């Protein structure tokens, strides 16, 4: 998509992200699962790739975690800072979230090591450049403690989905209409999209662009980075992922 870069998604969605995506998954179950995985890995700081406005990082910090959150969008990090300051209950002393502006494929971690790293809700697929997802796996593997874990939550691509365009209403209210427009290209494993946000004040375009990967492709990236699958769920409650799963939550560890 011409004119689209690493920061575009966050910059265009930051003002509506909490409203539109605050309940996209069961946040309580997700945070509980991540906290348990962090404890099992020996504790220590947690790395979130694509931290956004802090939907997961802030409640993790409220539980006592120290989170480093990488995001390519300063607008998202600004929202994160506001959400952190307004958190109730407040984040306890010794915990917190440090937002870092950077690319998930080359996270600026300054040699810091983590017991848990995670990337939630399809955010890994926002890395669209050739080899970017592989570089992300490599960077995370290098930053994990020996007992560390890397958790990836993404959708399972539909093998029957062919090329084509789609237009559908996303939301309709008394003062706003949001249309979803997307184009799927299975040959490149890319989907381009726009949310056309129409209000009385005007029209705002909110573009997005993903490159999806199958579970097998992600496992191959992990293997190339020295990681192996430890477990694969279909949700944050720990339901094993079967062949019909629409989403997978996969935990990787060192081989």
Q: What is the pLDDT of residue 45?
A: 97
Q: Let me know: does 46 contact 34? Beta carbons within 8 Å.
A: yes
- How many Å apart are CA 149 and CA 178, to the nearest integer? 38
How do strand 190-199 and strand 176-185 relate by DSSP bridges?
antiparallel
> Are residues 85 and 117 located together in one domain of the fold?
yes
Is 15 inside a domain boundary? Answer: yes
What CATH number is given to the structural domain containing 172?
A: 2.20.25.570
Q: What is the pLDDT of residue 71?
A: 99
Range of the domain at 185: 164-209
DSSP string, 139-205: HHHHHEEEEEEEEEEEEPP-TT--SEEEEEEEEE-SSEEEEEEEEEETTTTEEEEEEEEEETTEEEE
What CATH number is given to the structural domain containing 75?
A: 3.40.50.150
Q: What is the pLDDT of residue 159?
A: 84
Is 55 inside a domain boundary? Answer: yes
Q: What is the mean pLDDT of each run of 10 residues along the chain (255 residues)?
A: 92 97 93 96 95 98 98 98 97 96 96 97 97 98 98 95 96 97 97 98 98 98 99 98 96 97
Q: What is the pLDDT of residue 135?
A: 98
Q: What is the pLDDT of residue 17?
A: 97
Q: What is the pLDDT of residue 160?
A: 87
Is 247 inside a domain boundary? Answer: yes
> In this structure, what token pair is assigned to residue 32?
């509980």
> Are residues 72 and 129 located together in one domain of the fold?
yes
> Are residues 124 and 59 located together in one domain of the fold?
yes
> In this structure, what token pair is assigned to residue 196?
């056309």
Neighbours of 240 (CB within 10 A): 10
Q: What is the pLDDT of residue 2?
A: 84
């Amino acid at each position: 998509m011409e004119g689209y870069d690493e920061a575009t998604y966050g910059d265009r969605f930051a003002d509506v992200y909490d409203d539109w995506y605050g309940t996209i998954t069961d946040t309580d179950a997700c945070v509980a699962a991540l906290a348990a995985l962090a404890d099992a890995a020996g504790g220590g700081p947690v790395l979130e790739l694509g931290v956004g406005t802090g939907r997961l990082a802030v409640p993790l910090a409220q539980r006592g975690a120290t989170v480093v959150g990488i995001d390519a969008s300063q607008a998202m990090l600004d929202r994160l800072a506001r959400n952190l300051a307004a958190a109730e209950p407040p984040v306890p002393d010794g915990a917190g979230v440090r937002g870092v502006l950077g690319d998930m494929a080359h996270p600026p971690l300054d040699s810091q090591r983590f017991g848990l790293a995670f990337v939630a809700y399809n955010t890994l697929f926002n890395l669209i450049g050739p080899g970017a997802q592989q570089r992300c796996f490599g960077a995370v593997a290098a930053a994990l403690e020996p007992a560390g874990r890397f958790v990836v939550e993404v959708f399972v691509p539909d093998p029957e989905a062919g090329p084509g365009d789609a237009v559908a209403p996303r939301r309709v209210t008394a003062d706003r209409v949001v249309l979803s427009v997307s184009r799927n290209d299975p040959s490149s494993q890319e989907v381009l999209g726009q949310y056309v946000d129409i209000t009385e004040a005007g029209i705002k375009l909110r573009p997005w662009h993903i490159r999806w990967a199958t579970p097998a492709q992600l496992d191959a990236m992990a293997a190339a980075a020295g990681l192996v699958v430890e477990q694969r769920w279909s949700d944050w409650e720990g339901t094993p992922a079967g062949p019909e799963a629409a989403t997978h939550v996969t935990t990787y560890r060192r081989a």
